[in-house]
Structure formats: structure tokens, C-alpha cells
């Protein structure tokens, strides 16, 4: 696996610029390309990251280094190794687009920390494009004990230029849709009239969809499994509740209720989840939201009563 190296120069505390960050690796200009077909999946592997002190003791005990990748979501399970020096790491945590590294003991020798097993969950709503990896430099409640937090606050207090983050790598991850060189996008077509689901030309029998108060109701499990091989559906019979998990995205709701719990946030649903002959049904709009489908990728054909999902 290629690695990205981040060096924090000794100039951090010696010049008016609060920090100097630069890449030192032949892989820096090599983008990790993620095919659009992987979007909506979990555990997408990206490159290792190496953090190097330019001098001993730059990172003090209880201080934290924050790395950020906007719009991406890091999975739990990042592993770390001290490959040089004697710095001690308390832990490496992830929350959404942030990696937080907490120092347990400052180094007496300039040290190097290697992060491995870095994996992402990529929501289907994420657009094609190049996504950078950034070093967070602001402090405060959002980023407590940030290595660079005090310097940021000093600059801000003096009305000097205080940068909240610095791009370490412009092309950390690139999301790309399949091109026209013989690559076909996945397509799922559901027929309301005959209760069939066709995926890439293969027809599969499913529990029949229906119309309820003007809303198209679809069988949750059959459609979810067709659109996302990594989604996990859990049913609790006692509470009549369902949880749909895709990486760090967790959606929960109850049969008969019109609210959705999305990672702890309560959101309104178009139509309450319904139970029909032992199967849970959701409206097209609600199910598309849960699976992160873009509106332009969900097509309704009134004439032949079909829904087409493109991914």
C-alpha cells in the first residue's frame, strides 16, 4: 500500500507562520481512485499515512493531531505503529470525516507514527471529484487540545491571518464514475405492476410493490439488497423497529411511525413504514434517502409503472 508522509517542521515554533506542512513521498501525487461502483459500500481501503516529527518533543502529552477529509467518512479500526523514536500514542479515533490522534507521552527522540488499515465509508450521495486530506489547525471546543490550537487562537486574537486547516494532499481520494470504455453502470428496474426487480438484465421476483396515498411503497429488504451489498438490516420484533446500517451511517425507524433516526438525528418520513404479510415496506422517497440515492438517479416511468435506479 502506498503511503502519504506528513512532516511537521521545526519551523512551527520559530517563525511567524504558525506551521509548515509538506508531503515527502513519491506517492503524494498518486490519487487513490475509487470507482463509482464502490460508492455506497463500506470498508473502502485508502493509503497509509505517516506522521513525522522534525524534532523531538513537538507533540506533548494529551495533545491531539486532527486530520480531516471533508465529505468522506472514516471507518473505525485504524491501526497505528511508532516506527521511529519513542513517542507514545494513547489512541487513534475516528468520527465522520476526522481522524484524531491523542499523544500519551512526548518523545525524547524525533518520532514517526504510521497509520494503517485506513478505510472509508462512501455515501452514495457523494459527487464525483477529488477530495483532499487536511490538517486541522483551529482549536476550541470542536478540536480540543489541538497541537496547533494555541497558535491558531493567538493569531485570531491579534486579528492576524488564522487558517483553520491546511491541505496536506489535494488528491487524497478521487471518486470516479465508470467511463465509456466498455464499463456499464449498475441499473435496477422495479416493475410495480408485476412485482419484479431486474438488476443488470437479470430478473428477480420480489414482494409486490404497491401505491399508498399516492406514494410508491417498496419492500425494504429486497430493494436494499439489490442496491447495496454491504447494507445490514436488523429487525427487532418486540419494538417493531428496523435498523439499516451502512458503515457509520445508521438509520432506524418503527413500523407505523413517521420519523426516522439518522445517526441520532430525528427526521420526518414521507410515509410511515408499513408491514404487509410479514414484510416491511417503505416509500420510494424514504428508501432512496436511507440508501443515499441521488434524486437524478431514481427515475419513475408513469406509462409502464416502473422505477429505475442508476448507480
The domains of the chain are located at 3-176, 187-310
Q: What is the largest CA-CA distance in the chain?
A: 73
Q: How far is CA 246 from CA 43, 144, 159, 191, 202, in A?
A: 10, 29, 43, 26, 25
pLDDT value of residue 64: 94
For residue 17, what is the DSSP state? S
pLDDT value of residue 171: 72
b/e sequence 86-113, b meaning 16+ C-beta within 10 Å: ebebeebebeebbbbbbbeebbeebbbb
Any idea which architecture 3-176 has in CATH? Sandwich (2.60)
Residue 95 and residue 150 in contact, taking contact as beta carbons nearer than 8 Å: no
Q: What is the pTM of this model?
A: 0.55
What count of other Cβ atoms lies within 10 Å of the Cβ of residue 43? Answer: 13
Per-residue pLDDT of the chain (311 residues; tens, 9 = 90+): 344 444 443 323 322 223 333 333 323 333 344 444 455 555 677 878 888 888 888 889 999 999 999 888 899 999 999 999 999 999 999 999 999 999 999 999 988 898 999 888 876 667 777 788 888 888 788 899 998 877 666 555 556 555 677 777 777 787 765 443 333 457 899 999 888 999 988 888 899 999 999 999 999 999 998 888 778 999 999 999 999 988 777 899 999 999 999 878 888 999 999 999 999 999 999 998 888 887 888 999 988 899 999 87
What number does CATH give the domain 187-310?
3.30.457.10
Q: Tens digit of pLDDT for each residue in 146-164? A: 988 776 665 555 565 556 7
Q: Tens digit of pLDDT for each residue in 127-145? A: 777 788 888 888 788 899 9
Amino acid at each position: 500500500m502506498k503511503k502519504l508522509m506528513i512532516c511537521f517542521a521545526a519551523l512551527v515554533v520559530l517563525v511567524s507562520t504558525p506551521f509548515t506542512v509538506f508531503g515527502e513521498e513519491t506517492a503524494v501525487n498518486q490519487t487513490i481512485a475509487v470507482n463509482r461502483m464502490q460508492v455506497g459500500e463500506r470498508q473502502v481501503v485508502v493509503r497509509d499515512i505517516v506522521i513525522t516529527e522534525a524534532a523531538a518533543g513537538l507533540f506533548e502529552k494529551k495533545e491531539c493531531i486532527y486530520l480531516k477529509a471533508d465529505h468522506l467518512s472514516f471507518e473505525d479500526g485504524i491501526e497505528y505503529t511508532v516506527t521511529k523514536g519513542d513517542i507514545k500514542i494513547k489512541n487513534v479515533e475516528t468520527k465522520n470525516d476526522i481522524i484524531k490522534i491523542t499523544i500519551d507521552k512526548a518523545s525524547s527522540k524525533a518520532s514517526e507514527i504510521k497509520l494503517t488499515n485506513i478505510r472509508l465509508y462512501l455515501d452514495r450521495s457523494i459527487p464525483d471529484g477529488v477530495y483532499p486530506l487536511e490538517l486541522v489547525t483551529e482549536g476550541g471546543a470542536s478540536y480540543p487540545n489541538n497541537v496547533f490550537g494555541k497558535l491558531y487562537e493567538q493569531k485570531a486574537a491579534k486579528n492576524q491571518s488564522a487558517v483553520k486547516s491546511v491541505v496536506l494532499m489535494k488528491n487524497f481520494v478521487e471518486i470516479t464514475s465508470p467511463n465509456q470504455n466498455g464499463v456499464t453502470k449498475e441499473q435496477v428496474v422495479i416493475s410495480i405492476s408485476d412485482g419484479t426487480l431486474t438488476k443488470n438484465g437479470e430478473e428477480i421476483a420480489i414482494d409486490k410493490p404497491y401505491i399508498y396515498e399516492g406514494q410508491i411503497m417498496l419492500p425494504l429488504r429486497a430493494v436494499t439488497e439489490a442496491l447495496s451489498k454491504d447494507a445490514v438490516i436488523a429487525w427487532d420484533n418486540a419494538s417493531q423497529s428496523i435498523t439499516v446500517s451502512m458503515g457509520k451511517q445508521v438509520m432506524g425507524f418503527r413500523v407505523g411511525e413517521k420519523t426516522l433516526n439518522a445517526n441520532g438525528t430525528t427526521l420526518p418520513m414521507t410515509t410511515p413504514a408499513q408491514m404487509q404479510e410479514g414484510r416491511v415496506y417503505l416509500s420510494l422517497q424514504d428508501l432512496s434517502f436511507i440508501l443515499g440515492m441521488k434524486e437524478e438517479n431514481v427515475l419513475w416511468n408513469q406509462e409502464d409503472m416502473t422505477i429505475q435506479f442508476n448507480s
